């Protein structure tokens, strides 16, 4: 199997989710394993002792990703930046209008998510 085919299979297996971040507080010297990054939903009450580390934006092709993959990538990125929690702010699927426009323009519709990476001293 050639290198391109291997890379393509790896990209499809990971769901092609990309995460970009806007760092608010640099804690990257203290990374946290993704498995130890907690997820708070938008309506959850965040402890007052938690500090904002970064704003995270995730995107993935809707037909090749699912919410679990999006959550996992957000947790990985938060951990790399030194966060031990994320607060999910939004997770949006492409609507009917966007899907039609994307089909006309021969593009794949995207799933988008936004979260806050947090450092919570209590863990």
Per-residue pLDDT tens digits for 22-50: 999 999 999 999 999 999 998 899 999 99
Q: Is residue 6's pLDDT more than 70?
A: no
pTM: 0.76
Q: Is residue 12's pLDDT more than 60?
A: no
List the structure tokens of 80. Answer: 């790399």
Per-residue pLDDT tens digits for 64-74: 888 899 999 99
pLDDT for 122 equals 80
List the structure tokens of 76. Answer: 């990985």
List the structure tokens of 121. Answer: 């001293």
- When pLDDT is averaged across residues 95-115 and rounded to a whole number, the result is 73
List the structure tokens of 77. Answer: 């990125």
Q: pLDDT category, 7, cuts 50, 70, 90?
A: very low
pLDDT for 9 equals 47
List the structure tokens of 13. Answer: 């297996």
Q: Residue length, the chain?
A: 123
Average pLDDT, the chain: 84
d(CA 95, CA 87): 24
Pairing of strands 85-92, 38-40: parallel
pLDDT for 110 equals 81
Q: pLDDT category, 111, cuts 50, 70, 90?
A: confident
List the structure tokens of 92. Answer: 């949006």
For residue 112, give Cα distances in angstroms to 26, 33, 69, 95. Answer: 24, 23, 12, 12
User: How is the beta sheet containing 110-119 ordered, strand by strand?
Assistant: 18-23, 51-61, 110-119, 85-92, 38-40
């Amino acid at each position: 199997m050639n290198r391109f085919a291997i890379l393509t299979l790896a990209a499809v297996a990971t769901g092609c989710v990309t995460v970009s971040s806007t760092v608010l507080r640099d804690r990257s010297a203290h990374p946290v394993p993704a498995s130890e990054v907690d997820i708070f939903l938008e309506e959850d009450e965040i402890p007052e002792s938690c500090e904002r580390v970064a704003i995270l934006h995730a995107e993935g092709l809707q037909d090749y990703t699912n919410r679990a993959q999006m959550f996992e990538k957000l947790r990985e990125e938060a951990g790399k930046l030194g966060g031990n929690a994320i607060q999910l702010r939004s997770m949006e699927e492409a609507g009917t209008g966007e899907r039609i426009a994307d089909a006309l323009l021969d593009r794949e519709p995207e799933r988008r998510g936004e979260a806050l990476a947090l450092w919570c001293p209590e863990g």
